[in-house]
Amino acid sequence: MSDNTLKNERDQLFTDLMKGIKPKRVPVTAGISIEAALEKVGYSVKRDQYSPQKCYEAAEEMARRFDTDTLPTVPSTQAAVFRYIDQKFMQPGADGFFQHPNIAPLETEEYPEFSKDPFEFIVNKIQPRVFGILQEEPVLGHLKIKIARDVVASKFAGMGVKLAEQYQRSTAQTTCNLLWAPFDFIADYIRSFSTIMIDVKRNPQWVLDACEAVLQYEIEQIKITPKRGAIPTISYPLHMAPFMKTKDVEKFWWPTFKKLMIATQEAGFIPAIHYEQNWDPHLDLINDIPTPAIITFEASDQKLVAQKVSTNFVWRSMYPAVLLKTGTKQQCIDEAKRTLDNVAGGGNYIFSTNKGAIRGSDVKDENLQAVIEFVKEYGKY
pLDDT at 370 over 70: yes
pLDDT at 2 over 70: no
State the amino acid at position 181 in one-letter form: A
Q: Would you mind telling me the total number of residues written for the chain in this entry?
A: 381
User: Which DSSP symbol is given to 355?
Assistant: S
Residues 218-226: what's their mean pLDDT? 98
The tens digit of pLDDT for each residue in 244-263 reads 999 999 999 999 999 999 99
Judge contact between 169 and 9, C-beta under 8 A.
Answer: no
Whether a cis peptide bond, with omega within 30° of 0, leads into 292 is yes
Cβ atoms within 10 Å, residue 24? 12
pLDDT band at 102 (very low <50, low <70, confident <90, very high): confident
φ, ψ at 284 (rounded to 5°): -65, -25
Cβ atoms within 10 Å, residue 185? 22
Mean pLDDT, the chain, whole residue set = 97
Q: What angle do CA 181, 187, 193 make, to 5 degrees?
A: 130
The tens digit of pLDDT for each residue in 323-354 reads 999 999 999 999 999 999 999 999 999 999 99
**CA dihedral sign of residues 192, 113, 86, 60:** positive
Judge contact between 35 and 359, C-beta under 8 A.
Answer: yes
Distances (CA, A) of 54 to 51, 158, 162, 244, 336: 5, 15, 15, 42, 32
The tens digit of pLDDT for each residue in 269-290 reads 999 999 999 999 999 999 999 9
- SS3 sequence, 100-155? CCCCCCCCHHHHHHHHHCHHHHHHHHHHHHHEHHHHHCCCCHHHHHHHHHHHHHHH
Angstrom distance (rounded) from CA 122 to CA 142:
12
Give the pLDDT of residue 139. Answer: 85
Tell me the domains of the chain and their CATH numbers: 10-27+170-379 (3.20.20.210)
Give the pLDDT of residue 1. Answer: 42
pLDDT band at 3 (very low <50, low <70, confident <90, very high): confident
The tens digit of pLDDT for each residue in 135-164 reads 999 889 999 999 999 999 999 999 999 999
Radius of gyration of the CA atoms of the chain, in A: 21
Angstrom distance (rounded) from CA 354 to CA 29:
11
Judge contact between 170 and 67, C-beta under 8 A.
Answer: no
pLDDT at 25 over 90: yes
Judge contact between 260 and 293, C-beta under 8 A.
Answer: no
Give the pLDDT of residue 338. Answer: 98
Angstrom distance (rounded) from CA 50 to CA 80:
6
Partners of residue 349 on adjacent β-strands: 315
pLDDT at 100 over 50: yes
Cβ atoms within 10 Å, residue 116? 11
Q: Could you tell me which of 70, 74, 351 has the C-alpha nearest to residue 231? A: 70
The tens digit of pLDDT for each residue in 167-191 reads 999 999 999 999 999 999 999 999 9
